[in-house]
Amino acid sequence: MFTPAGRCPEARVNAEPVKDHASLMDKVYRRQRYIYDFTRKYYLFGRDRLIRELDLRPGDRVVEIGCGTARNLIRIAERYPEARLFGMDASHEMLKTAAESVRRAGLETRICLAHGYAEDLSPAMFGEHEAFDACIFSYSLSMIPQWKQALRQAAATLSPDGRIHVVDFGDLTGLGRTGQTALLAWLRLFHVTPRAELLHDLERSTSASLRVLPGRYAFLLTASKTLSF
């Protein structure tokens, strides 16, 4: 049986550094969660494009790692009414807003939420055992300290033909030195670190679909589970 939002089992918390990160995320979003969706629409570009390009099949199982307020999950549910959706986040505070947003949208039976960490991702977080068909990172890799392990773990939870979808900040070099420096300084206030290394590695790869937005502000990635991270 599909477990509705707010009734998913808690993920295990093992390492102290991960606990510290969870506390940091709660501190960052304890108040930000109330204005998050309104403010982020002005600079988290590419999220809706990612959703449009998911091309989900009926019954596909989709998990968003770092689901935040569940904004993306709700839009996915509306666009793909036969998809089964899961969201996990390291912040208990953000999950409070996510659960309320899912409830208001009347999607409790379609979106399952759980607290957890990207490095520990598994269907068991949600009381499930079947592999996911798509794993989504929407501006979350830049906030995950162990982001490489997060990508590897996501790939490990995918079905054989499953896909990883990423939208996140690029290296910002197209903004000019002043623009890049200013934006990086502002992002650091929210503990955000663009993964330029990942973008540069992807640009050298021929086995992934990569689109870089103007100014190298952000990039979108679609990759199979076999892509090496």
Residue 100, CB-side half-sphere exposure with 13 Å CA sphere = 9
Answer yes or no: is 166 within a domain.
yes
Asked whether the beta carbons of 155 and 134 are under 8 A apart, the reply is: no
Bridge partners for 158 per DSSP = 132
Phi-psi category of residue 69: left, alpha or beta, with phi > 0 → left and psi -120 to 50 → alpha: alpha
So what's the pLDDT on residue 40? 55
Q: Which helix (H) or strand (E) holds 219?
A: strand 218-224
The reply to whether 6 falls in a domain is no
Q: Is residue 9 part of a domain?
A: no
pLDDT of residue 81: 96
- Identify whether 5 is part of a domain: no
For 98-130, b where at least 16 C-beta lie within 10 A, e where not — what string?
Answer: bbebbeebebbebbbbbbbbbbbbbeebbebee
In a domain, 88, yes or no: yes
Cβ-contact 18, 117 below 8 angstroms: yes
pLDDT of 65: 97
Residues in the chain: 229
CA distance 108 to 99: 8
The residue type of 58 is P
**What pTM was estimated for this model as a whole?**
0.83
Which residues, 6 or more positions from 177, have their beta carbon under 8 angstroms from its beta carbon?
Answer: none
Ranges of residues in the chain whose predicted pLDDT is under 50: 1-18, 24, 29-31, 33-36, 38-39, 42
Cα 143–chain centre separation: 10
Which range marks the domain in which residue 58 is found? Answer: 16-224
Please give the tally of structural domains in the chain. 1
CATH label of the domain that carries residue 156: 3.40.50.150
Domain assignment of residue 76, yes or no = yes
Q: What contacts 195, CB < 8 A, 6 or more positions away?
A: 141, 142, 147, 168, 169
* 3 domain-assigned: no
Amino acid at 83: A
